[in-house]
Amino acid sequence: MSEPAFALDIAGLNKSFDRPVVKDLHLRVKAGEFYALLGPNGAGKTTILRMVAGLLQPEAGSISVFGIDTRREPLKAKSIIAWVSDEPMVYDRLTPYEYLEFVAGLWNIDARTAQARSTELIGWLGLAPHAHERCGGFSKGMLQKVALAGALVHDPKLIILDEPLTGLDAGSARQVKQVLLDKVKAGVTVIMTTHILEVAERMAERIGVINHGRLVAEGTLAELRAMIGRETTLEEIFLDLVAQKEMDTDPAVDAAA
Amino acid sequence: MSFAPATMPWFAAHEWRLIWRDGVAMMTGGYPARRIALTVMLAVITVVLHLLANAIVGPWADAGIVADKSTLVLITGTGFLFWTVMLSQALESVTRAYYGRADLDLLFSSPASSRAVFAVRTGITAITTLLLACLLASPIVDVLAFHAGPQWLMAYLALAALSAIATALSVLITVALFRIAGPKRTRLIAQIIAAIVGAGFVIGIQAVAILHFGNMSRFALLQDPAFVDAAPALDSLVWAPAKAALGDWLALAGIVVVGAAALVGTIAFASSSFGRHAIAAAGVAQQHVAHAYGPVSFKSRSQKQQLRVKEWKLLARDPWLLSQTLMQVFYLVPPALYLWISYGKTAGTFVVVIPVLVMAAGQLSGGLSWLAISGEDAHDLVVTAPVSPFAVLTAKIEAVGVVLAVLFAPVVVLMLFASVSLALITAVFIAISSGSATAIQLWFRVPMRRAMFRRRQVASRVSTIAEALSSVFWAGTAVLTGGQQWLALLPAVLAVITLSVAWSLSPKGKRV
């Protein structure tokens, strides 16, 4: 059977908290693509990604990851997804090696493979000098790198990252970006939200702009430029698109996101 | 009323506002509408406690209290019980003042005096310690004042002095630990001392009662004529707090002066080093300590095994939990000692240890279950893993079950030598009590960081109360079952009702 063309296929997705946060969202990300999801604060980006990762249940619509319906076969979908949030999901009282052993166990990776991958990731991310220290005293950047190593140790096909570069210093941010680019080169799909537009501009193959829970624009940087009819930076395009949409959208839609 | 910024009254007003809001949030679970229900509930509890105290202390007060040596021994012994609880509480609060980072970074980075901050926080520790003591002692004091005269109300002033002394001693212990053990170990040692102090005295006199009198009553020693005779003479200063409580103005003035002087003197002594020690405590989190390790060797484990091993590692590495578990284990010492001493005697005497074990199991299980089920630092990681939620929960419950089995199995095995049936009854009710506490934690689970353990009650007052009640009712059922009484059905029904009410009030169906 051939590999599905889309790593992520979202159709008619809806989610409300005390008010609608995601409204009839349709989004497709190709396999092996680096996709950046942009949007102002409260636009619904995190809510969308949390639904994809299985951390929230949608009210309506479907999410399929490499052809697997995440609601019908959640465990099968989860086995090929990695989720990295801006708050590193790391245990203070475990060392990076212990953490990776635990994560690999959750994803049913055999011990020998997990150990080899962990050693490789720890070296790759510059964590080797701290590999046997408990994570409790680590800086935000180090914790984020441990979390990223955890996300990669089970060799996912789709990596979802929510603001992964928040709080990282330039060196750590560069390491994380490099690891992600290497993964995309190896055929892994990466979907990332970020407020650092320069990162999206330089790394993403396609960019989606979310506002008030809807996809308001999507395409390559060139396509987005063509959309607003100016040769300008992503920042200008983003502000232009968001401002344009603000004028004809109900402002009460997304404060809860 | 407003005070000049950065002065002590200004800090005190700020602290009180935070404490008040924190307290209200804790009691109401963040729902202001619950305030009325809470007020009614507190009023009912107060009345019930006063009625209970009246039943216990009233006849003694009506018979006429003579300030003789035996009375002084009894009051001093009971007062010392309260004081050890106060000292334990104060030690924990003072340690928090040094290690709690919530706003210390802000305060230390401001031009405000760290001495003023310390003085206010220490003073507030003394007051909150006093409030706890009043909460525990007020039914007895009020009943005594009602039956034996208003002079008993002076006991509150005596309590205030004792809380000041407890706070001063806690500060001195903490500063000494900083100097001797360093900032890295001070918190753990202080927590262990707090646990030992909190449980130590009550367990100590219980142990003496078991060894010398063959029963578990903590008052057996305090009422023993030989012990009373051996106590210091009536004019000894040891009796000053008891005399103060009995209405001796001179003794009261004496301990109030001593308490105030101890607190003020300690604040003056320790405030200069507060900033230094608190900053050193903050630095502990930044220290990276590589533990001794051999070559990396990942073990082949199933998903559930990984989850269980992770829970055990985290439980074993949690210093606060360690001290709490230690305290629970201390409470198991008297029953174990009693079993040991009574070995070979009639099996009927063992009935008295059953409720202690069942209660302890319920309480310990509640805390451990919260840590394993709700206190998940990497909640998103576990939820996004390809493991079914059921498998995750069962693995975590199994991890808690194994810990409880390791702790309680030796005592049950000891019981087997005396009475197989009582050992079985104990084992069954330990399982039921801990199972009930775990079930309550499951129904009320709300993902929080493990560091929030102290504030787990915030998530739900109902779960906290239900957990305590079910432990008490199952303990009652166990002891009556052990005594082969049909009355055992009553607490069993109450326990089931408690669990049913907890289930119906739990936020089921609202989670992913």
Q: What is the pLDDT of residues A117-132, one digit of tens each?
A: 999 999 988 899 999 8
**Contact yes or no for A134 and B300 at CB 8 A:** no
Q: Closest Cα to residue A135, out of A171, A103, A176?
A: A103
Rounded to two decimals, the pTM is 0.69
Distance from C-alpha of A83 to C-alpha of A80, rounded to nearest angstrom? 10
> B-chain residues within 8 Å CB-CB of A53?
380, 383-384
Residue B288, both tokens: 């990276």
More confident call, A9 vs B294? A9
- Tell me the pLDDT band of B58, cut-offs 50, 70 and 90: confident
**Residue pairs spanning A and B at CB distance below 8 A:** 111
Least confident residue range of B63-72, B215-224, B439-448: B215-224
Of these ranges, A143-152, B72-81, B134-143, B271-280, the one predicted with the greatest mean pLDDT is: A143-152
Angle, helix B154-180 to helix B114-148, in steps of 10 degrees: 150
**Contact yes or no for B288 and A103 at CB 8 A:** no
**Contact yes or no for A150 and B386 at CB 8 A:** no
pLDDT mean over B419-443: 92
**Closest CA in chain A for residue B378:** A89
Sheet holding A68-69, edge to edge: A20-30, A6-16, A60-65, A68-69
Interface residue B317 vs chain A (CB under 8 A): yes
Q: DSSP assignment of B191-233, as one string?
A: HHHHHHHHHHHHHHHHHHHHHHHSS--THHHHT-HHHHHHSPP
Q: What is the pLDDT of residues B291-313, one digit of tens each?
A: 656 677 888 888 899 999 998 88
Interface residue A35 vs chain B (CB under 8 A): no
> B-chain residues within 8 Å CB-CB of A111?
298-301
> A-chain residues within 8 Å CB-CB of B382?
106
**Closest CA in chain B for residue A131:** B290
3-state DSSP assignment of residue B290:
strand
**Contact yes or no for A137 and B385 at CB 8 A:** no
Residues of chain A numbered 179-238 and touching chain B (CB < 8 Å): none
- Tell me the pLDDT band of B348, cut-offs 50, 70 and 90: low
- Tell me the pLDDT band of B160, cut-offs 50, 70 and 90: very high
**Closest CA in chain B for residue A151:** B381
**In chain B, pLDDT over 90 holds for what percent of residues?**
19
pLDDT number for residue B117: 84
pLDDT mean over A155-177: 87
Least confident residue range of B211-215, B316-320, B393-397: B211-215
DSSP code, position B450: G
Please say whether the beta carbons of A165 and A173 come within 8 A.
yes
Burial class for A190, CB neighbours closer than 10 Å (0-12, 13-18, 19+): buried
Of A105, A137, A150, the CB nearest to B306: A105
Q: What is the pLDDT of residues A44-97, one digit of tens each?
A: 899 999 999 988 888 899 999 999 999 899 889 999 999 998 888 888 888 999
Residues of chain B numbered 370-409 and touching chain A (CB < 8 Å): 377-388
Interface residue B293 vs chain A (CB under 8 A): yes
Residue A21, both tokens: 């946060």
**In chain A, pLDDT over 90 holds for what percent of residues?**
40
pLDDT mean over B465-489: 86
pLDDT number for residue B278: 79
Residues of chain A numbered 117-176 and touching chain B (CB < 8 Å): 118-119, 130-134, 136-138, 150
pLDDT mean over A28-49: 91
> B-chain residues within 8 Å CB-CB of A131?
296
